[in-house]
Amino acid sequence: MIYEDKYLDYLDYAYEVSKRHNSSTGWEVQCDCLYDTDEDSLSERDRFVMILAVIVYEVEHDILTPEMKGELDYYYSEYNNGTFDGILGEDEEERIVKDLTDCYNKVFNIGHNS
């Protein structure tokens, strides 16, 4: 199955827009990347990959907002419950799972010594 909107496209977009706008807070990243998104028109898969791209940027830049932390927890649970089985493109699933797991582990301090 081929998806029109690819995860890596969303990820590139989040980085490009955030750098161009010089976004320095998670809120700015969200406003810059998601400002014109009509969530009602998105599939759950597309919303997931779009939000994950923003989460990855915010985690990497240590500016994760509480809202995105909640989204990360929600989507990690949904992924583990099989919500996205069969709807992620084969060419993107490995990267999505890696990014989702890496962010979750970092944010929730899984596998790190405290």
Please write the tens of the pLDDT for every residue from 42-75.
Answer: 888 889 999 999 999 999 999 999 999 999 999 9
- How many domains in the chain? 1
Q: Are 87 and 45 in contact (CB under 8 A)?
A: yes
> pLDDT-based confidence at 26, cuts 50/70/90?
very high
pTM recorded for the entire structure = 0.88
d(CA 96, CA 78): 13
- Helix H or strand E encompassing 47: helix 44-60
The whole domain housing 71 covers 7-107
CA angle 31, 35, 36 (to 5 degrees): 170
3-state helix, strand, coil in the chain (%, to 5): 65, 0, 35
70 within some domain: yes
pLDDT tens, 70-88? 999 999 999 999 999 988 8
Q: Are 59 and 18 in contact (CB under 8 A)?
A: no
101 within some domain: yes
pLDDT tens, 30-39? 999 888 777 7
Q: Are 15 and 58 in contact (CB under 8 A)?
A: no
Q: What is the CA radius of gyration of the chain?
A: 14
pLDDT at 5: 59
113 within some domain: no
- Mean pLDDT, rounded, for 22-41: 87
112 within some domain: no
Q: Are 42 and 73 in contact (CB under 8 A)?
A: no
